[in-house]
Amino acid sequence: MPEIYPFSEKGETYAEEDMERLGRRGRRAIELAEMKIPVVPGFVIDSRLTPELPSKDFSESLRRGLVGIEEGVGRKFGDAANPLLIKIVVSSNLSLPFYPTVFNVGLSPTTMPGFSTLIGEKAAWFEYCYLLRTIGTKIFDIAHERFDEIIARYSDDVEGMKKCAQEMVQLVGRDNVPDDPFQQFVVILKNLAKRYYNAEMDAEDPPALLVQGMVFGNLGEDSSVGMYYTRNIISGEDRLQGSFLLNSYTLDRQGQDILALDGEYLNRLQQIGRSIERKFRELREVKFIVEKKKLWIINQTEVDKKSTQAHIRTLLDLMKEGTVKDDWVVEQIPPGQLATLLHSVVDEESLAGIPAIRGGITGAPGAAVGRVFFNADRLMEAHRDAIQKGEDTRMVLVVTASYAEDVKAIEVGQGVISAEGGYSSHAPVVSRSLGKVSIVHPDIRIGDRFFEYNGVRVNEGDYVTMDAPVYRDPTIYTGKAKLISPDIHTNGLTDFIEVVRRFIKDDFVVRANADLGRDAKVARTMGAFGIGLCRTEHMFFAEDRIQRFREMILSSSYDERVRVLDDLRPLQRGDFYDLFKIMAPYPVTIRLLDAPLHEFLPRNDEALTEYLEYLQNKGIKPEKAEIQERIERLHEFNPMLGHRGCRVAITYPEIYEMQVRGIFEAATRLKKEGVDIVPEIMIPIVMNPSELRFLKNGKQIEGQYIKGIRDIAREIFHQEGVQLNYKVGTMVELPAAALASGDLAQHAEFFSYGTNDLTQTTFGLSRDDINSFFPAYTMYDLLPNNPFQVLGDSVKELIYISAERGRITRPDLKLGLCGEHGADPSNIEFCMEQSELDYVSTSPYNIPIALLAVAQLNLKKAKAQ
Ligand code: PEP
Ligand code: MG
């Protein structure tokens, strides 16, 4: 057995199995040597010797090791005139922030004269005292205070230091610090082995001991000490980041910027940094010393605090230059981490002194700053006002829960704070699709133009900062902090997505939940393979459309409704045209209207007045009382289980007819323009095959014929002289539908699992109310996860049964999932592996996360085969 493993810039290399016995610090030093980097020379004592060190004599090997260091550093261990000092590091295989280290070994009254000429007599005695203190505290667990007491008794001149040293020797024990340098080295090694090797716990994997020469950055103006990261740890920019101090023993003060270092050293440090990045395949921290113009590398380590952006940019650079392969790059980043490249983050330093309201849930991640408004219209007005006056236009909407008429304010604002709801409620869903921030905090109390929590009060017009990270609970700061915002084109995200997409295969893709052309563009940038859910009711959120939509649902007769629908059709046609065109050649699934009525009706007097004004402007003279009465008639006790989805179309077939016409008109127009697309029409809230058959094929009843989708398609194709392929499918979002999947598949060419409603109806948990009682369920461990985020087992079982039954009827049935669960990697694994779906569909800003999860699963599968 070689006993010791010497290393130096000459480039020693060792077998992998040997390296495993040298501990982390030992390995790091040897890895530097392997790269022929000017590492300060040293040797590592094999970890198998550690248990025997206290009792056995290894002097010969130790002396041999010291000779190697002496040659490299140009000093002699124990020499009175030109002494070499060394450090000893306990090098275990554990990842620790600090490894126990004894510096200045070899310094004693014997070598003091030589060391004094090197750094000055007082400094030399100070370093000797430092050695004694380290031995006392780190090896013998003597309290620091005991050493402080000694120091306090003496002056800090040479004489005082000498006396301190004498007393410290007494305290540590004469036998533990022999004056003979070699004896001292051996005794310290033995005592370190005794102290840090525990026969019971470490027998399998004892720590090794690293012995390394010491060099000094305080030997004059041609010496310095410094550290740097191989590139910027926040931005990932390929420029060294760090600092140095001229003529200093350690980097214990604010140093100068590393880029101000002499060009010759800087070039070498850059080259060294590059080799280290290539070797370790990540950015790293490097410590160096220049001793009388000679550059030495002391150590290099991983950087835990590097940003995801910096990590990804390093990986991409290494990939471009051929150091690493694309599959390896894709495997390095946990999917959820990408969130930090997609959303702003709060600059922690700017938070000092701002009170915080913690808790609640993140509805949509990110960070936002703005003045709060408790009503959408007031927010809109303040926004317009701010634009005119050139003031800060950033606003945050605070509401108990949001509804259709609030969407305009969410859109112009930075975020929404709501007091009711859960992850798949209106405010979070809308915020996620618009890339805004949402926090749901069930314990805030919203009053008249203020909200309050635990004695902290925020009034309308006050600033808040919303911090809604993906991994931690959110916080609302009651003041204005600074944000750091991402640019996905420069932070590496778009390049990274391109690499990730190489590992997506046709059998499982990621689509977007996107409602408007603008969302579709974002979705494409984020790498979507089509749209899996266009919620057409969201197309009516815009300020100029919501009133027309209200007019449609509040119509008192068929004729009145058809008139409004005729008005809406060109708008819908335009919307669909945009979506199809932006997404071509990828598929687009248009879901026909599913508007829980309570989200769309005027909810208060202000909204009602606006609606009445709208009617008046159209020349209609509405009776307020009559309109109110119609609203009341539409009131439902349980709107989520009420007149929504396809049920509305069964009562009023003309509504879906208008939408289906709009879809085919847009598609035929595109076909004439040379853009061939296959529209996918999807029906929501289906509970049985009869509904689906009725809406698809139409029905003759009491002499009246109700057109189905197929009839409308035929009509338009005939009228336009164009033939098109199209698909009709269904949402599966009710347990009854899941169980009836065998029959549903006779009429549906695709299913999309609407897991928001499927969770709501399977668990009987309201997606809008869960938050008020979920914390107690978490506290008592009654539900493993929030089932609106992580698919519950019963929902998974229903999907599994449905997929199986559906495919028996129609083997080429396409299956997707479009609930808010679509971006969570654990749900994706279920969709890909267990249920063998064809895609998940998720909000545009979640697409990179989902893509990465899919790519990693594909790579894992490929490697397992
Ligand atoms: C669902 O229920 O999962 C779904 C996607 O539909 P929505 O959220 O629009 O009800
Ligand atoms: Mg639904």
Evaluate if residue 762 carries a pLDDT over 90: yes
| Weakest-pLDDT range from 127-131, 171-175, 555-559 | 555-559
pLDDT over 80 at 607, yes or no: yes
Residue 234 has pLDDT above 70, yes or no: yes
Residue 775 has pLDDT above 80, yes or no: no
For the CA of 535, the closest atom of ligand 1 is 9
Reported as half-sphere exposure (CB side, CA atoms, 13 A), residue 668 has a value of 18
Residue 89 parent element (H or E): strand 86-91
Q: Output the pLDDT for position 347.
A: 87
Query: Could you say which ligand is closest to the alpha carbon of residue 753?
Result: 1
Given a cut of 80, whether residue 597 has pLDDT beyond it is no
pLDDT higher than 80, residue 93 = yes
- Written as six digits, the tokens of 371 are 């003045």
Q: Is 454 known as a binding-site position? A: no
What residues act catalytically? 426, 818
Question: What is the mean predicted confidence (pLDDT) over 24-32?
Answer: 95
Residue nearest to atom 3 of ligand 1 (CA): 754
Lowest-confidence region among 161-170, 401-410, 705-714: 401-410
Distance 685 CA to ligand 1 centre (A): 9
752 compared with 700, residue with greater pLDDT: 752
Mean pLDDT value across the chain: 94
Q: Is 714 annotated as a binding residue?
A: no
Ligand nearest, relative to CA of residue 433: 1
How far out from the chain centre does Cα 809 lie?
A: 41
d(CA 486, CA 602): 37
Q: For ligand 1, what atom is nearest to the CA of residue 818?
A: 5
pLDDT band at 471 (very low <50, low <70, confident <90, very high): low
In order of their start, the domains of the chain are 4-213 (3.30.1490.20), 344-484 (3.50.30.10), 503-596+636-864 (3.20.20.60)
What spacing in Å lies between the alpha carbon of 714 and ligand 2's midpoint? 29
45 CA distance to ligand 2 middle (Å): 65
Mean pLDDT of 221-240: 94
Confidence at residue 509, expressed as pLDDT on a 0 to 100 scale = 98
Residue 402 near residue 426, CB atoms below 8 Å: yes
| Phi, psi of 414, deg, nearest 5 | -100, -25
Q: Which of 59, 54, 41, 61 is nearest to 1 (CA)?
A: 61
**What is the percentage of the chain residues whose pLDDT exceeds 90?**
81
Give the angle 595-620-408 at the CA atoms, nearest 5°.
40
Using the predicted structure, report yes or no on whether residue 651 has a pLDDT greater than 80.
yes
Q: Consult the annotation and say whether 757 binds a ligand.
A: yes
What pLDDT shows up at residue 472?
Answer: 74
Ligand 1 pocket (Cβ < 6 Å) reads 533, 535, 594, 733, 754-757, 818-819
> Residue 785: which pLDDT band, with cuts at 50, 70 and 90?
confident
Instruction: Catalogue the long-range contacts made by 111-114 (C-beta closer than 8 Å, 24 or more residues apart).
Output: 111/78, 111/79, 111/80, 111/83, 111/85, 111/181, 113/80, 113/81, 114/79, 114/80, 114/81, 114/82, 114/83
pLDDT tens-digit series, residues 405-417: 898 899 899 999 9
Question: Is the peptide bond preceding residue 585 cis, with omega within 30 degrees of 0?
Answer: yes
Least confident segment among 29-38, 93-102, 658-667, 817-826? 93-102
* Ligand 1 atom at shortest distance from the alpha carbon of 594: 9
What average pLDDT score do residues 651-655 get? 93
CA distance 802 to 742: 7
Q: Please compute the mean of the pLDDT values over residues 433-445 and round it to a whole number.
A: 91
Query: Nearest residue CA, atom 9 of ligand 1?
Result: 535
Tell me the best of 733, 824, 841 to mutate to test the pocket of ligand 1, counting ligand atoms within 8 Å of each CB and taking the most. Answer: 733
pLDDT tens digit string along 502-516? 999 999 999 999 999
Which of 21-30, 335-344, 551-560 is the most confident on average? 21-30
Q: How many Å lie between the centroid of ligand 1 and the Cα of residue 756?
A: 5
396 — pLDDT class (breaks 50, 70, 90): very high
Least confident of 742-746, 806-810, 861-865: 861-865
In tens, the pLDDT along 719-738 reads 999 999 999 999 999 999 99
Closest ligand to Cα 843: 1
Question: pLDDT grade, residue 422 (50/70/90)?
Answer: confident
- Other Cβ atoms closer than 10 A to 775: 14
H-only helix segments in 173-300 = 181-196, 263-280
The torsion defined by the Cα of 743, 746, 747 and 753, in degrees rounded to 10, comes to: 60
Pocket test for ligand 1, best of 407, 536, 594 (most atoms within 8 A of CB): 594
Residue 688 is assigned to a ligand binding site: no
Backbone angles phi, psi at 84, to 5 degrees: -90, 130
pLDDT at position 387 is 84
For residues 374 and 696, give the distance between their C-alpha atoms in angstroms, rounded to a whole number: 44
Question: Atom of ligand 1 at shortest distance to CA of 754?
Answer: 3
Predicted local distance difference test score (pLDDT) of residue 87: 97
For 37, the token pair is 């980097």
Any idea which ligand is nearest the CA of 759? 1
Q: Is the pLDDT of residue 745 over 80?
A: yes
The confidence score (pLDDT) of residue 252 equals 85
pLDDT band, residue 469 (cuts 50/70/90): confident
- Centre of ligand 2 to C-alpha 838, Å, is 19
pLDDT tens string 52-90: 999 999 999 999 999 999 999 999 999 999 999 999 999
Q: pLDDT tens for residues 57-66?
A: 999 999 999 9
Half-sphere exposure for 695 (CA within 13 Å, toward CB): 34
**pLDDT score recorded for residue 701:** 84
> What is the band of 95 on the pLDDT scale with cuts at 50, 70, 90?
confident
Dist. CA 712–CA 373, nearest whole Å? 45
Counting ligands in written order, the one closest to the CA of 426 is 1
CA nearest ligand 1 atom 4, residue = 754
Residue 674 is labelled as binding a ligand: no
Q: What is the radius of gyration, based on Cα positions, of the chain?
A: 35
pLDDT for 206 beyond 90: yes
Mean pLDDT of 195-222: 93
Phi, psi of 786 (to 5 degrees): -70, 115
By most ligand atoms within 8 Å of CB, the mutation choice from 425, 511, 646, 818 for ligand 1 is 818
Burial 758-767 (b: 16+ CB within 10 A, else e): bbbbbbebbb
pLDDT in tens, 797-819: 999 999 999 999 999 999 999 99
**74 annotated among ligand-binding-site residues:** no
Residue 461 amino acid letter = G
List, edge to edge, every strand of the sheet that includes 42-45: 4-7, 42-45, 208-213, 86-91, 101-105
Helix, strand or coil, per DSSP, at residue 811:
coil
Residue 470 has pLDDT above 80, yes or no: no
Average pLDDT in the 680-697 region?
98
pLDDT digits over 305-353, tens only?
Answer: 888 999 999 999 999 999 999 999 999 999 988 988 988 888 888 999 9
- Residue 146 alpha carbon to ligand 2 centre in Å: 70
How many CA atoms lie less than 13 Å away from 423 in the CB half-sphere?
A: 25
pLDDT at 22: 96
Neighbours of ion ligand 2 (CB under 5 A): 733, 754, 757
Query: Residue 204 pLDDT > 70, yes or no?
Result: yes
| CA angle, residues 121, 125, 127, in degrees to nearest 5 | 115
Distance, in Å, from the CA atom of 680 to the CA atom of 839, rounded to the nearest integer, reads 14
Residue 182 DSSP label = H
**Do residues 354 and 477 make contact, with C-beta atoms less than 8 angstroms apart?**
yes
- Mean pLDDT confidence for 521-543: 93
Average pLDDT over residues 650-676: 96
Residue 651, marked binder: no
- Alpha carbon nearest to ligand 1 atom 10, residue: 757
